[in-house]
Amino acid sequence: MRAVWSFWSRPFDNFYKGAWLSEYHHLLAWVISVNVARRHYPDTLLVTDIAGKKLLVEQLGLPFASVSTALEGLADIDTRWWAVGKLVAYALQSEPFVHIDTDVFMWKRLPRWLEEEPVIAQHPEYFSENDGCYQLDAVEAAMRETGGILPEEWLWTHARSSYQRSENCGVCGGTDVQFLSYYANLARSAALRPENEQGWLRQANTWVHNMMVEQYVLAACIEYHRHRPDSPFHHVRPGYVFASWDDACDQARAAQAGYTHLQSGAKRHPAVGARIEARVRRDFPGYLGRCREIAKVGAA
C-alpha cells in the first residue's frame, strides 16, 4: 500500500497556516508524519506544487519515494477550497493507498483487514440535520436559488434521513481506487463548477465548505451506490481506524491503535508543540536545524 501526503502551498500560506502553533511546529509535524509512516509504507508519494516541493523536499529534505507537482494545476483556484488539493491527490492514485494528513502520526501500521477495505477513513462522524459543520439545508437552499447543481448522491442521501454520516479523512484511501477517483472528482466538481459559485458564496464559514465537500460527499457516495445493485460501486463499504469520534479522542484507544491525530486546537497548544519538538529531537535530530533555519527560529 502506498502512503500519500498532499500539500497545496497557496491555501496554507493564505488560510490555514494559523492552525499551527508556528511554522516551525508545522515543519516538525511533517518530519514526524512522514518518517514514522514510511517505516510501514516505504512507497511514499507527495502530491504538491512547485513551492511545496521546494519547501518539503529541497529544503527540509523529506525522503519521499516519489513527488508529483500536480497541484501546480490549481494556480487559478480559490484558495479557500483547501480540500481540493487532497481531492486531486486521491483522484491521481491508481493502486491501493492511504492518504495521511500532516497532523496524523501513524506509529503503527494499519491492521491488515483495514488495508484490504475498499475505503479507509479515520472514523465515522454522525450528525443530526444542520448540526455543526454540515449545514446541508442551507447549502441546498442556496444552490436552488442560484442555479447550483449538487451531486445526486448528496441529494439522495440527505433526503433519506435527518440523521447523517460523514467520514473523517484524517486518513483516507483504500483498495477501490476507481471508486475513490470517482468520489474525488465528483467532490471537486461540487466545489468548483461555475454554477455553484454563488451558492457557496452565500455560506458564511468557508471551513464548512471543505468539510462538506470532502467528508460528506464521500459518505453520500458510499450510501447512494450501495443501495443500487447495478452500480459498479455497490460493494463499497468503509473501514475505520476508530469506531467513533469519542474513540478517536480516547488516549488509550489511540495508543492501542498507534495513531495520533492533532485534531482541532491541538496543533496550537504549547504543550503539544513542546512534545512534537522533543520527539523530533529524540528520533529525528538531523531535521531540527533545518526546521529552525527554514522557520527562522533560533537554537533552543
Q: Per-residue pLDDT tens for 117-168?
A: 999 999 999 998 767 788 899 999 999 999 999 999 999 999 998 889 999 9
The grid coordinates of residue 260 equal 495520533
Domain ranges in the chain? Answer: 2-295
pLDDT of residue 30: 99
Q: Per-residue pLDDT tens for 246-257?
A: 999 999 999 999
Q: Is 105 left (phi over 0), alpha (psi -120 to 50) or beta?
A: beta
**Could you tell me which of 139, 159, 161, 163 has the C-alpha nearest to residue 149?**
139
Q: Per-residue pLDDT tens for 78-93?
A: 999 999 999 999 999 9
Which DSSP string corresponds to 48-77? Answer: E-HHHHIIIIIIS----SEEE-GGGGGTTS
**Could you tell me which of 97, 45, 95 has the C-alpha nearest to residue 69?**
45
Measured distance CA(262)–CA(211) in Å, rounded: 17
Residue ranges for the chain with pLDDT beneath 50: none
Topology of 2-295 in CATH? Spore Coat Polysaccharide Biosynthesis Protein SpsA; Chain A (3.90.550)
Question: CA neighbours within 13 Å on the CB side: how many for 74?
Answer: 30
Measured distance CA(43)–CA(39) in Å, rounded: 10
Is 0.85 surpassed by the pTM of this model? yes
